[in-house]
A and B are shown apart, each in its own frame.
Chain A
Amino acid sequence: MSGNAAQSETIHHLSKTFRDVPLKELDDSSVVAAQLAGSSLAFTELVSRYQKRLLNFIYRTIGDRERSEDLVQEVFVRVHRHLHRFDQEKKFSTWIYTIASNLAKNELRNRSRNPLVLFQTIKKNWDSEDRPVEFEDPHYRPDDLFRKRHLREMVEWSVAQLPQHHRVVFVLREIEGKTYEEIADITGCNLGTVKSRLNRARNRFAQVIEPLID
């Protein structure tokens, strides 16, 4: 049997298997395999799993809500386009976070080079009342909403004080709960660099947020 025929038979077998099992019950690597086998719903399942996590990660890193949504879309465009190149021996979450991290870093770099973009971001943050309604969870009471908004602004401002390399590592560790090894894979740094950046980021964050806590 030729290689192509064997491959198409494997794909046929996989697609038949994935048709029988709900995608929600599969782990990431199986959903990826289903997508590569031609399942039309597998990609939507990946979007469901990662849209919120990626939106939070990118937003915490760049601090711009609308741009974060655009970048999350771009992450999924790249995932869809390059999924066949993904090494299925590795964790899908690490791969998708790597794409998101690179896009976020590019965004920060572009902003630092383009004063107009930086100005637009700062201006947007002045008008905190103009934030979209869906930003908040409607289940909270108004005083809770106010407190949460205040807290969020405080935290966002404190995280924004970190240098960009430290910020990415800090968000991945303290907010996303990634391990040092995963952070090293995502950022492309070695373990020592990750620990050093995280240490500096924590020091800086603690210094910045300390006067705001009381």
Chain B
Amino acid sequence: MIRNELFRRQMKAHLESCASCAAFNDSLNKGVSLIYDSGEILVPPGFKDRIVRTVKEKESETFAQPITPAPAGLAAAAMVAAAIALVVFEYQPQSPTEMAQISQPAEEILHTQMVSPVQIPQVSFTEHELPAIVELQPIPETGRSDAGDDGENDQP
């Protein structure tokens, strides 16, 4: 067990002088020899045939299995593609304007949206024009009296 002869001699010398190590070594050697004395386990009769049969059965099960289902990633990709197709084909243009928008080339639409996403008209008024414009604006009728807003009638 100990290959190095020098180490073996040192160990032997130490075991002769050290009682606790000698006792430990004795227990270990006896214990290990007990393992051998207790004998080997015998294989049950027909064990080899059973193993070979099991292996063949497992292999045939493997080959008999149906085609493995598609991986989850492929299934997910198929679902996404189906959803996109549904959205595209479900959308039906309702009016000639929409038809015209749809018939507009995609690049043109994209260009318009990218260059000027929101078209805000730049209008300026002179001081003389402004009162006339304000007068022209209709006042929205809310159904509530103006008197109620200042809170005078709320006094007890």
Chain A interfacial positions (CB closer than 8 Å to B): 43-44, 47-48, 51-52, 55-56, 59, 65, 68-69, 72-73, 76-77, 80-81, 132, 134-137, 148, 151-152, 154-155, 158-159, 174-175, 202-203, 205-207, 209-210, 213
Are A155 and B54 in contact, with the CB atoms below 8 A? no
User: A132-B44, A206-B24 are contacts. A154–B34 as well, Cβ < 8 Å?
Assistant: yes
Q: Which residues of A contact B27 (CB under 8 A)?
A: 206-207, 209-210, 213
Of B28, B43, B52, which contacts A206 at CB under 8 A?
B28
Q: Mark B39-67, 1 if CB is under 8 A from A, else 0.
A: 11111110110111011001100100000
User: A148-B37, A154-B34, A175-B35 are contacts. A51–B51 as well, Cβ < 8 Å?
Assistant: yes
Q: Which residues of A contact B50 (CB under 8 A)?
A: 73
Are B55 and A137 in contact, with the CB atoms below 8 A? no
Chain B interfacial positions (CB closer than 8 Å to A): 23-24, 27-28, 30-32, 34-35, 37-45, 47-48, 50-52, 54-55, 58-59, 62
B interface: dominant SS? helix
A interface: dominant SS? helix
Q: Which residues of A contact B54 (CB under 8 A)?
A: 73, 76-77
Are B34 and A155 in contact, with the CB atoms below 8 A? yes
Task: Give complex CA distance A69, B45 in Å.
Answer: 12
Of A43, A59, A77, A158, which contacts B31 at CB under 8 A?
A158
14 interchain pairs (CB within 8 A)?
A: A52-B40, A52-B41, A55-B43, A56-B40, A56-B41, A65-B41, A73-B50, A80-B55, A81-B59, A132-B44, A137-B39, A154-B34, A209-B31, A213-B27
